[in-house]
Structure 1
Amino acid sequence: MTASYRLARGGRIDRGRPVRFTFDGKSYGGFAGDTLASALIANGVHLVGRSFKYHRPRGIMTAGSDEPNALVGVGAVDSRYTPNLRATQVELHDGLVAESQNRWPSLSFDIGAANESVASFLPAGFYYKTFMWPAAAWSKLYEPLIRRAAGLGRAPAEPDADRYTHVYAHCDVLVVGAGPAGLAAALAAARSGVKVIVCDEQAEMGGSLLTETTATIDGKSAIDWVTAALGELAANLNVTLMPRTTAFGWYPHNFLGLCQRVTDHLASADPRLPRERLWQVRAREVVLATGAIERPIVFPDNDRPGVMMAEAARTYANRYGARPGDKAVVFTACDSAYRAALDLKAAGVAIAAIADMRAAPSGPWIERVRAAGIVVRPATCVTGTRGRLGVASVNLASATPAGGGETIACDLVLMSGGFTPSVHLFSQSRGKLVYDDALQAYIPGASVERERSVGGCRGVYDLQQVLSDGFAGGVEAATAIGGGDTVTQRFAVQADSVGSDGFIGAAPHGRNPLKTRAWVDFQNDVTAKDIRLATREGFRSIEHVKRYTTTGMATDQGKTSNMNALGVVSDALKLPVTRIGLTTFRPPYTPTTFGVFAGQSRGDLFDPVRKTSIHDWAAENGAVFEDVSLWKRAHYFPRAGEDMHAAVRRECMATRGSVGIFDATTLGKIEVVGKDAAEFMNRMYTNAWTKLEPGRLRYGVMLREDGFVMDDGVVGRMAPDRFHVTTTTGGAARVLAMMEDYLQTEWPDLDVWLTSTTEQWAVIAVQGPNSRNVLEPLVQDIDLSREAMPHMSVREGRICGIPTRLFRVSFTGELGFEVNVPAGYGRAVWEAIMAEGQAFGITPYGTETMHVLRAEKGYIIVGQETDGTVTPDDAGLGWAVGKAKKDFVGKRSLIRPAMMQSDRKQLVGLLTVDPKTTLEEGAQIVADPTEPVPMSMIGHVTSSYWSAALDRSIALALVRNGRTRIGTRLSVPMPAGPVAVDVVQPVFYDPKGERLNA
């Protein structure tokens, strides 16, 4: 099973467990413990993808989550296919199916590479300038082409067949990163007795120590020390170890999101297990031990397959037993690449030369390299590479103007521009970053959260110092929350430091800068030339340069490109890096699946089908349903041969003429209880509540803070300390959330509690002149007479022996009642009312009839007559605003000048001159139908219906300065021609309310 580039021994792979996998349809062999990237390298495969813009060949560049090039699609079937996974993080398992991306027809021969021939016409920002003309071509030509070209991987066409779950956790100390600093911090915190969670994105904890072959800690090899540390932590019941878990986002108050990969590494997973878990962790203290990222060097043609980070090549050789090439040239600005050169030489890679940008490198690593017979060339740069699908040779030249050059044949180029602390999570926590001139990198400054950064992520690279720094951070975190005493540990480390030298920006190369491309962002094909062009175009801030060139906008989130981009801009503008700014680090830290964010909220669990207890009766009796918010509601009840319009006309006439019955269960319902309940209601709603007597109802309007109508509903005062609040069907959740928000944050002194009772009560609206006659025989303990139970009153008693809250209220303009009973009895009571109503021709009606009936009375529906910009006065509800009230939510906004302008849109009624013409809802309204296009729109139609009671069409509309236009004629432009309308009062039927008070 050993491939030609697999080392005969060494590494962390399990050579006793060989596996087979395919890449682009070709079968390869690997071992358990490999990543897809390490297995491909072991099989001599370096070409893995194509770049976004020019479709240039791309190879494996790193060994971790900072990989910008090796993005692959994984999955044998479409329902379990995931695009844009980093091959460096895909764990190998038997039967793994992977494919390269962004190429056609094949990876080695990609038609898209023709973009190279027109590269001079595709500089940074070309799309901003190219697609300006002709304007008509944007939607028909440019946009479709751009959309087709956008993206790297293909989106699967089938729904995701995997399952994802959400978990909530709390801990005293969360340690992010399980390298040397993280393990030391975890040991310190755990020994103090506090509860600790340790997460690390890799499959095996240990970080950089998994690559070490010579360093010792406390007399043990690095690997043995890691094993002992993990053993101690695993034996501690207060410690949770979470490998394969990426901390992707930091949110307020030490709330972090962790994505745990559960089954991706398994060939045959237990179907009971999710693919991934989203851990939402609240930590009292956080220790960030996220390490540092090796920085590429920006030199000409630095993007060919075979150009790799020096530390990554060392990782593949030492950890995975894979030799990344036969002959290498090392290009560096720091000592760590010398260590990599020695390890690769030991793995059988011939090191042709080390080109060091520094004028006079010195130290133990340099001496060891020379003693090993490796040529070191100070003050030397790589000025170019050659090769079609991979590196075949490099050009070297002296960094001094008088220096000469040469070409060296090789298949591997190792580069190292130093290390960049991984500060993404710290930045997300709103911590302040500071620039360190010596490190040429940003490091954590002042923390905002209860956090401390340790080790490489704050620029500490020496192993002895890293361990001590991590342990001290763990002690500090535990002490901050009252943990027990921890004995200070002094680590005995035998390892030479690799220093902290480095370089940012573009390396000197002596070639024509206008014709030379040196890549900064490998995935998005952004070169140093592109960045310099952005500065010539006038961009000065790195945020603007980022957006103009797209550098740092790739899936690696700028991990490998940000600092070099800053260096190029700094050099171009002759300004210090600190004057250029810094791009914003946003979650997620690495690309994260949509599935883990959705969790179980898919299909019916995302958009659950909610049915009332009367739903089945309606279905059995032929109802046609519609979706209203999350509910299924009966739209209308057609009889044989009836379409919707005929059914609605019949239902309207039956309700107006005798009695109709309607399922209003879906109304939101909230119980507001407590000695301060009336005061709470007074503050939340526009009108007054303190003097409302128990047993009475009142219509209430709720505003947002900006003064616009948010919701409305009828509220019953059941007792001095109890209110039964109804809301719109779609507004139930947001009204309760707003109430809770104000109660908890603004008025915590009020003695009030809130309970959602939407599902508790079934609501049956019995409407029409015979509604009292139908209900009287069924009701006990309630006098339904007009004198005993006037309009807008509520009584408690029984109906059919079932406890009820009976409202006398109407949304139809007729004598009406709303029967509230426990939801479990909803159908039984409904059927009893239907049986009693047979003598009166009782007729069930649906939401469409309800809309017609309420529109005839000019009653509004929030969300239809309102659009988020309507005030109570606009909607004709000025009477519902308590003018003498000291305060309520939105009161101050109502007196803003814009809210009191005379030309605001106001609710009016519209009657078409031709009574048979029904307007379209949403249609625009103009004053002068002869005005040339573009016409001045003065309003729009909000509701439009055929009124059976009036035998004509009616409409409600919001019209600018509408109330002053009553009695005038306007026009509604329609495709068939303008429709003349008369502006009237919005109440079309029974304007005096005589039927309502029957």
Structure 2
Amino acid sequence: MRRESGGRIDRGTTLRFIFDGTEYTGHPGDTLASALLANGVRQVATSVKLGRPRGIVSAGGEEPSAVVQIEAPFPEPMLPATTVELYEGLVASSIPGQGRLATEPDPARYDAVHAHCDVLVVGAGPAGLAAARAAAGTGARVILADERSEPGGSLLGTRESVTEPEADDVLGPQEVSPGAEWAAATAAMLDGLPEVRVLPRTTVIGYYDDNYVVAVERRTNHLGAAAPADVARERVWRIRAKRVVLATGAHERSIAFAGNDLPGVMLAGSARAYANRYGVLPGRRAVVFTANDSAYAAAFDLADAGVEIAAIVDVRPAPGAAWAAGARERGIEVLAGHVVTAAQGDGQVCAVLVGRHRPDGEAAVGERELAADLLLVSGGWNPVVHLFSQSGGTLRYDEGLGTLVPDASRQAVEAAGAAKGVFTLTGCLADGAAAGHRALEAAHGTAVAERAAPPRATVEPATAPGAAFWLVPATDYRTHFVDPQRDVTVADVLKATGAGLRSVEHIKRYTTAGTAHDQGKTSGLLTTAIVAHALGVSVGEVGSTTFRAPYAPVSFAALAGRDRGLLHDPVRVTALHEWHVANGALFENVGQWKRPWYYPRAGEDMEAAVLRECAAARESVAAMDASTLGKIDVIGPDAAEFLDRLYTNLMSSLAVGAVRYGVMCRPDGMVFDDGTVIRLAEEHFLVTTTTGNAAAVLDWMEEWLQTEWPELRVHCTSVTEQWATVALVGPRSREVLAGLAPDLAVGAADFPFMTWRETEVAGIPARVCRISFSGELAYEINVTSWDGLRLWTAIMDTGLVTPYGTETMHVLRAEKGYPIVGQDTDGTVTPQDLGMSWVVSKKKPDFIGKRSFSRADTSRADRKQLVGLLPEDPAVLLPEGAHLVAGAEPPEPPVPTLGHVTSSYRSAALGRTFALALVRGGPSRAGERLYAPVGGALVPVTVTSHVLYDPEGARRDG
């Protein structure tokens, strides 16, 4: 089916590809669709619900039927064959309704870029090229984006020519040239200008507020073929433009008649494009069914290319005289006032039934059968208004054009050419140039001198849209397809309206029309028209469904860009990580951090290792890498006031050199985070947070500073990665520190709890804090990250210190009843529920959450509060999350729960298991027996204080 000559393909190069297991050949410049048609392949898919054969309907992104699965070089489902550029080694298959995702990670690169411009022109057809050229003439920053691989739009599929009326100050003297060549020359000229960026293969998918536009560029031959390692397969462009010109063209639409989904039924303009652009004949003998003049031009081009035109079936009683004369010259029969009542064939079109149209809405009469393998349809043209609508633009129904056209937008945007209903080539060129001038003037804020007149078409296709025609009346509408991708028929739409639905949005959801990959590009307005027909109202009264982003399907890989794998959720390690690895640590993920979990020795399981580490911390000395704790510098004249507002307790009274524990609450009074506040200078504080909440706390601080308290003179800076922190814990920690820091007075009186000192530890400048999260005598030693490994190595080289991990840290803190935010809290817990009323200041006039503490619900006695639990069998380890009930007998559902276990461990110091839990009524239940349903049995536990070890705190000072 390939013509002997013609088309914009490289006939000197042959590309091999496989479709459904059969090898075929094509040429550079082909799409998969054009190559399949050239090889006589008509069916490329199967419908999703009915299993009907589906063929190629269009030649672009509006394709409603021919979606395929790419198998190699990398699987990608649900791609329109009309947009897949052919490449060597492509392997594709037809889709039986649904595609398949890859089972392995995509090895290709995807990236993103931000760009700014004075004028963004979307679409490189005649109107877009004229607009971009007009806007670029004075050195303005212009971006021209087009979804096709080469510029020209409709010019690529026609034989029309363009000429310059006089010498142009940018291009120079021009002569008459074929439209595609003029488009290529214009785009090349634009691409050579320093402030112009031409983006082929770039689909604008979304239009957002403040002229923020998102586009996706296919940087290689679609999935194609191997690209250099430094070239991404797809790139997301995030563009901010002063003005936008939408020269997005128009989509031809189908007509609903029986069998209009058969392979071989094609849009007339698309068939013309296959003949002219790709040198492919989509059939041997064609019937053309139209309601407007544009299909005549398609019929003539196909006839000149060698396709036999059996007849032009024109629903209008009086087609344009010039077009009718042209048909007579070519010996083509014109059946005016007729309609196609059905396409017939087993798997593809083999015949077309034609009857006389009845304006009264009754079924056509006097059917006639025409043999044909191709049926070309043109029910009219729909301007591509999707992006205009996304911009906040309103649409109006133009009765004369029979379609929706742009009306007004709240943003700096306008449509040009066919995108606003201008359907002649000369009109598109003139309208595009005018739009480009207006955009340039608006972007610069001043009038721009008029430039040379726009180019004009040398062939004026007197294309009249004609009366809109949507539906061929019949008695049975079960094969009149509205949306072939969703198998939605006219009968389905009538069923929806018959059920009482009136809104086209509701009918869209009831029938699923317009919800497939093409988002109703060819079916959307047709659905509206069928609804209007059923309700007996005008199309304008029904309106359209909402046009949402993305305009075209986008791969998740493109949206993710480089934000995937390790780059999506980066693995963060501390400065001491290499030592932990070398010494056999096992790790757990805490947020993005890899934290040492425990350090098993030969023959030890986790339980044995943790018990050993706990014993070292309680009886001797142990050390933990605490570098992952969030650390935020809070600096400024109002820093103290700012922290007073954030924390429940008073921070402004903190002396320089002192440390204070604090809790942050949300406005509802529930605990948000906790940590220490260290006052380094009068206007300088260092705030520590939980590891997993560090970013959230910084964001919280910035939100209040920027939106509620902008008058406060405060700057917040994350310094988590700048400091390495080692927690030195245990009765002998003072001894170890004294040996490493001989200049530091480490006695209890000289260095009291919750203070800090600057000194040298192991010869390294350090900030040492007397802080304990274990209840033992402990120090937190902070040095720069560069010195962290040297400090840790010096501590371990003493031969006295046992390294311990996060599991041991949890056991030690839980024995002391210290809660972990996010584990022992769940967003419904106040400081009072945690037994920490002491941390809520009664002196401060206000802080975030203060008002909520006076709410009746927050102060009621039966709130869930933190307690300790001792299983009656000291060897039983309760699962975290286990619920707690009151009775010893299995209760009948629904079972009222008293609370749940939040933390559960084996304790070396206690010689048994224990747990922390949130229990209704909390401390008032001390001594009470409760039960935890575990594995089908009720495990008895006794409620006790949440502080199970050293409740007097005597061990804290050594």
TM-score range, shorter chain: over 0.9
Measure, in 2, the Cα distance between the counterparts of 1:508 and 1:893: 67
> Residue by residue, what CA displacement relative to the aligned partner does 1:248-273 show, whole Å, maximum 9, x if unpaired?
22344333222211222665533432
> Pick from 566, 572, 584: which aligns with 1:604?
566
TM score, norm. by length of structure 1? 0.89
The answer to whether the 8 A contact 2:903-2:916 is kept is yes
- The alpha-carbon deviation at position 201 of structure 1 amounts to 0.8
Q: Do the aligned partners of residues 584 and 770 (structure 1) sit closer, same or farther apart at CA in structure 2, a change above 3 Å counting?
A: farther
Q: Which residue of 1 aligns with 2:169?
A: none
CA distance in 1, matches of 2:857, 2:419: 51
Return the letter of the residue paired with 2:898: I
Q: Are residue 508 (structure 1) and residue 472 (structure 2) matched?
A: yes
Which secondary structure does the structure 2 equivalent of 1:759 belong to?
Answer: helix
Equivalent pair of 1:30/1:39 in contact (CA under 8 Å) = yes
- 2:370 is aligned with 1:408: yes
Structure 1 residues 270 and 916: alpha-carbon distance in aligned structure 2, compared to 1, 3 A threshold: closer
Partner of 2:35: 39
Aligned to 1:214: 160
What is the identity, as a one-letter code, of the residue corresponding to 2:473?
Answer: H
Q: Judging changes above 3 Å, is the alpha-carbon distance between structure 1 residues 682 and 529 closer, same or farther for their aligned structure 2 residues?
A: farther
Whole-Å separation in 2 of the counterparts to 1:42 and 1:433 = 39
In 1: Cα distance, 2:310 partner to 2:237 partner: 48
1:93 aligns with 2:105: no
Residue number in structure 2 paired with 1:282? 240
Amino acid at match of 2:390: Q
Greater mean alpha carbon deviation, residues 689-698 or residues 945-954: 689-698
- Name which of 416, 419, 433 aligns with 1:454: 416
C-alpha spacing 1:844/1:419, structure 2 compared with 1 (3 Å):
same
> Shift in Å at residue 550 of structure 1?
1.9
Match of 1:255 among 212, 221, 241: 212
Q: CA deviation at 1:163?
A: 1.8
Match for residue 918 of structure 2 among 943, 952, 958: 958
- The within-5 A match list for 1:675-754 is 675-704=637-666, 707-754=669-716
Give the match's secondary structure for 1:101: strand
Aligned mate of 1:426, from 370, 388, 393: 388
Structure 2's unaligned 5+ residue stretches are 166-175
* TM alignment of 1:836-985, pairs within 5 A: 836=798, 838=799, 841-882=800-841, 885=844, 888-889=847-848, 903-928=862-887, 929-985=889-945
- Could you give the per-residue CA deviations for residues 557-580 of structure 1, whole angstroms, max 9, x where no partner exists? 221221122222233334554555
Task: Name the CA distance, whole Å, in 2 between partners of 1:732 and 1:327.
Answer: 71
C-alpha separation in 2, matches of 1:901 and 1:508: 71
- % identity of equivalent residues: 51
Answer yes or no: is 1:791 the counterpart of 2:753. yes
Equivalent position SS for 1:203: coil
Distance 1:479 1:908, change over 3 A: farther
TM superposition shift of 1:359? 4.0
**Paired residue for 1:993?**
953
Alpha-carbon displacement from aligned partner over 1:927-956 (angstroms, at most 9, x marks no partner): 334420231223221111122212222212
Q: How far off is 1:812 after superposition?
A: 0.7
Asked if 1:336 corresponds to 2:294, the answer is yes
Deviation at 1:520, TM superposition (A): 1.3
Instruction: Report the Cα offset of residue 858 of structure 1.
Output: 1.5
Name the structure 2 match of 1:65.
61
Q: How does 1:614-653 map to 2 (within 5 A)?
A: 614-653=576-615
Please point out which of 148, 156, 173 is paired with 2:102: 156
Deviation, 1:190, is: 0.8
Aligned to 1:756: 718
Aligned-residue offset at 1:224: 3.9
- Partners of 2:928 and 2:707 in 1: CA distance: 49
The corresponding residue for 1:112 is none
What's the offset of the Cα at 1:581?
A: 5.7
Partner of 1:246: 203
Q: Report the CA distance shift for 1:752/1:284 in structure 2 as closer, same or farther (over 3 A).
A: farther
Instruction: Please tell me whether the aligned partners of residues 780 and 801 of structure 1 are also in contact (alpha carbons under 8 angstroms).
Output: no
Q: Distance in 2 between matches of 1:884 and 1:920?
A: 41
Is 2:658 the counterpart of 1:664?
no
Q: Matched residue pairs, number?
A: 938
Deviations 1:856-888 (CA, angstroms, capped at 9, x unpaired) = 111111221223343444444454445565555
Are 1:809 and 2:805 an aligned pair?
no
Cα offset, 1:835, TM superposition: 3.3
Q: Distance in 2 between matches of 1:884 and 1:429?
A: 53
Q: Which residue of 2 aligns with 1:15?
A: 11
SS at match of 2:934: coil
Q: CA deviation at 1:241?
A: 0.7
Secondary structure of the residue aligned to 2:727 is strand
- 2:131 equivalent among 185, 188, 195: 185
Between the aligned partners of 2:901 and 2:858, the Cα distance in structure 1 is: 21
Partner residue in 1 for 2:482: 520
Q: Which amino acid aligns with 1:15?
A: R
1:313, CA displacement in angstroms? 0.6
SS in 2 for 1:253: helix
CA contact 2:656–2:680 (8 Å) conserved in 1: yes
Q: What's 2:168 paired with?
A: none
User: What are the Cα deviations for residues 659-694 of structure 1, in whole angstroms up to 9, with x where unaligned?
Assistant: 221111111222222223233333444443333222
User: Any conservation in 2 of the 1:532–1:569 contact (CA below 8 Å)?
Assistant: yes
Counterpart of 2:691 in 1: which secondary structure? coil
Distance 2:901 2:582 in 1: 36
Displacement of 1:376: 2.5
Q: Relative to 1, partners in 2 of residues 1:963 and 1:257: Cα closer, same or farther, differing over 3 Å?
A: farther
SS at 2:72's partner residue? coil
CA 1:865–1:423: 2 relative to 1, 3 Å: farther
Q: CA deviation at 1:896?
A: 6.6
Say whether 1:175 aligns with 2:151. no
Structure 1: segments with no counterpart, 5+ residues: 103-150
In the alignment, which residue of structure 2 is the partner of 1:353? 311
Contact 2:890–2:938 under 8 Å retained in 1? no
Please tell me the residue identity of whatever aligns with 2:486: N
Counterpart of 2:618 in 1: which secondary structure?
helix
In 2 relative to 1, CA 800–419 (structure 1 residues): closer, same or farther, beyond 3 Å?
A: same
What is the Cα deviation at residue 653 of structure 1? Answer: 1.8
User: Residue 452 of structure 1: CA displacement?
Assistant: 2.5
Change (3 A) 1:46 1:613: same
Alpha-carbon contact 1:504-1:564 (below 8 Å) kept? no
Q: Distance in 2 between matches of 1:244 and 1:630?
A: 37
Measure, in 1, the Cα distance between the counterparts of 2:285 and 2:257. 20
Whether the aligned pair in 1 keeps the contact of 2:633 and 2:686 (CA below 8 Å) is yes
Q: What is aligned with 1:382?
A: 340
Indicate conservation of the 8 Å contact 1:194/1:483, yes or no.
no
* Alignment-mate amino acid for residue 389 of structure 1: G
The match for 1:27 is: 23
CA contact (8 A) 2:669 2:849 kept: yes
Aligned to 2:253, which of 295, 314, 336?
Answer: 295
After superposition, the Cα gap between the structure-2 partners of 1:621 and 1:241, relative to the gap in structure 1 and judged at 3 Å, is same
Q: 1:774 aligns with which of 729, 733, 736?
A: 736
Secondary structure in 2 matching 1:731? helix
Deviation readout 1:80-103 (Å, 9 max, x if unpaired): 23222221111122333222222x
* Correspondence for 1:81: 75
